[in-house]
Amino acid sequence: MQPSQDIERLIEIMVALRDPDTGCSWDKVQDFRSIAPYTIEEAYEVADAIERGDLVDLEEELGDLLLQVVYHARMAEEVGAFGFGDVVMAITAKMIRRHPHVFGSEEARSAGAAKGLWEQVKAEEKRIRAEKRRAAGETDGVARGLLDDVPAGMTSLARAVKLQQKASTVGFDWNDPRAVLDKIKEEIAEIEHELDQPAVSKTRVQDEIGDLLFAVANLARHTDVDPDAALRGTNDKFSRRFRHIETSLAAKGRSPAETSLDEMEALWNEAKTRLQQPTPSDGSE
């Protein structure tokens, strides 16, 4: 079988891989749940290639992510639910519906107005989906809440922001980032209280740390910062600085395990000075 730029060839390959008799012994036994972690992993690898500015890797990672779409669509087709063509039709129809200012008669004179139209159409789509579920008998009689459609599979920080954004649409939100900062201080005090107890409860400490992280994600949202991106940047910064410690010690024939904390701290501070990468805001880390 020859490679091709045609999506149909990729679909044919997946059909062959999933063939019950002649397919790949691994591919043909997979299901939606077993493949889902790979889908998430491929999305992260796309994001990583973008973060690194590596367009060669991005081409390959986008292909890997596309394969995941084809994989799930094929499994759905096998049970008579939908196929790849239905997925394409659904997303093209959605894009047309959600951009009436481009494909219809509506006008959006600003990015904010365009987003407003998008949200209006999304709300109508949600109402229609709910009606379809009721007609198909797929509901349990309990009305779906505002936060029910926030995917549980998102990263915890991203999901926190999404939940907060949803709640803010009905006015459940702070109006000032400094109010969120006060909440962060409150959560830190609660952690300190738990740590001061004679018998420290891991469960309560975990709960309080969760509250703190949720509040930090809220602060990021209020300051228009992506908390996942912020943490990725800090992870990379930590790695660079720790690598400086290792390299500096290796030049002396030593390792971190053979070095005092004070000396490693001094090398860390040295790395902060040497490895600073100016940012557009204030030129410091």
**Amino acid present at 104:** G
The residues, ordered by sequence, that sit 6+ positions from 4 with a Cβ below 8 Å of its Cβ are 10
Distance CA 75, CA 236 (A): 38
CA angle (249, 254, 257) in 5-degree steps: 95
For the ranges 102-106, 146-150, 218-222, 223-227, which has the lowest average pLDDT? 102-106
Please indicate, yes or no, if residue 173 is contained in any of the structural domains.
yes
CA atoms within 13 A on the CB side of 147: 12
Q: Do 52 and 38 form a contact (C-beta atoms < 8 A)?
A: no
Give the torsion sign (CA, 148, 150, 153, 159).
negative
Coil, strand, or helix at residue 236?
A: helix
Quote the CA–CA distance of 7 and 242 in Å, as a whole number: 45
Q: Which residue has the higher pLDDT, 143 or 158?
A: 158
Is 284 among the domain residues?
Answer: no
Among 20-29, 148-157, 190-199, the range scoring the smallest mean pLDDT is 148-157
Domain with residue 24: its CATH number is: 1.10.287.1080
Q: Is 200 helix (H, G, I), strand (E, B) or coil?
A: coil
What tens digit of pLDDT does each residue of 1-15 get? 677 778 999 999 999
Q: Which domain holds residue 267?
A: 227-274
pTM for the predicted model, two decimal places: 0.64
Q: Which amino acid is at 123?
A: A
Q: What is the rounded average pLDDT of the residues 233-237?
A: 92
Q: How far apart are CA 260 and CA 262, in angstroms?
A: 5
Domains in the chain, number:
3
Residue with tokens 């975990």: 206
Classify residue 59: in a domain, yes or no. Answer: yes
Does 243 fall in a domain? yes
